[in-house]
Amino acid sequence: MTASRTCTSRGSSGAGSGRSRGLPIPTCSKRSLRRRSFAAIDRTRAAELGLNASQIATNLNVSLSSSEQVTPNFWTDPAKGIPYYLAVQTPEPQVASLNALTNTPVSTSLSPQGDPVPGLLSNVATLTRTAMPTNANQANIQPIYEVYANVQGRDLGSVAGEIEKIVAAVQKELSPGNSIQVLGQIQSMNDAFRDMGILVRVEELQGVQSDIKLAAQRREPFDLGFPLFDRA
């Protein structure tokens, strides 16, 4: 599944290719990479051993993160009534290398003599080293790049107007599926003015309705008019 990439700006300003007076240099969230181990499970081999991907992942999770993550158990002190976690985990010094990690037991079978024979992770999976981002920002399962900015020496409204022009210009250059959204205080300001305008219109309609009823009772002619506001 290919998700669209959304560049989101939070704070008192938005993202764009230009610079606005009174807007310090925006900062983007860092996407540093870290070396990680990726285990590719051989499902055919795992099925021959009576395993599936969920069982392998669960057993590996228990070994590395303790059984508290999968099947939490408690013991309550009868004297003090305080519950304590009971967990099983492989000591970290014993998983200090890839070789030790591949020797992690993920299944158990019995030999003809009745002795347990552990099935190792290396029998059903292949480990490879790869680079993955240490942090990944998402919104509605879509990856995003966040740009943080603020206002300095100017009011929010004037900077917001210039940012809207920058965003509109950059929006035309984006590939299909990509978008730019300006959030934070600018969105809050626009929502507040929108709600205020709706409230003013509702009050005007209520006043007009009252005047119409009063004119009907007096049987007088009524002139219906609304004031016009210049948004500029």
Q: What are the pLDDT tens digits along the chain (232 aa)?
A: 233 444 444 444 434 445 556 565 565 655 566 777 788 888 888 888 888 888 888 888 888 888 887 788 888 888 888 988 888 888 888 888 888 888 888 887 766 676 766 788 888 888 888 877 777 777 777 777 777 777 778 888 888 888 888 888 888 888 888 888 887 888 888 888 888 888 888 887 777 777 677 666 666 565 555 555 444 4
Torsion sign across C-alpha atoms 11, 12, 15, 21: negative
Contact indicator for 5, 144 with CB cutoff of 8 Å = yes
Q: Is 117 found in the same domain as 38?
A: yes
Q: Is 41 found in the same domain as 84?
A: yes
Contact indicator for 15, 25 with CB cutoff of 8 Å = no
Q: Is 125 found in the same domain as 171?
A: no
Residues shown for the chain: 232
Cα–Cα distance between 163 and 76 in angstroms, integer? 59
Contact indicator for 148, 10 with CB cutoff of 8 Å = yes
- 73 domain residue, yes or no: yes
- pTM here? 0.44
Could you list the residue range(s) of the whole structural domain that residue 176 is in?
6-31+136-182
- 1 domain residue, yes or no: no
- 152 domain residue, yes or no: yes
Q: Is 61 found in the same domain as 39?
A: yes
State how many domains the chain has: 3
Q: Is 121 found in the same domain as 60?
A: yes
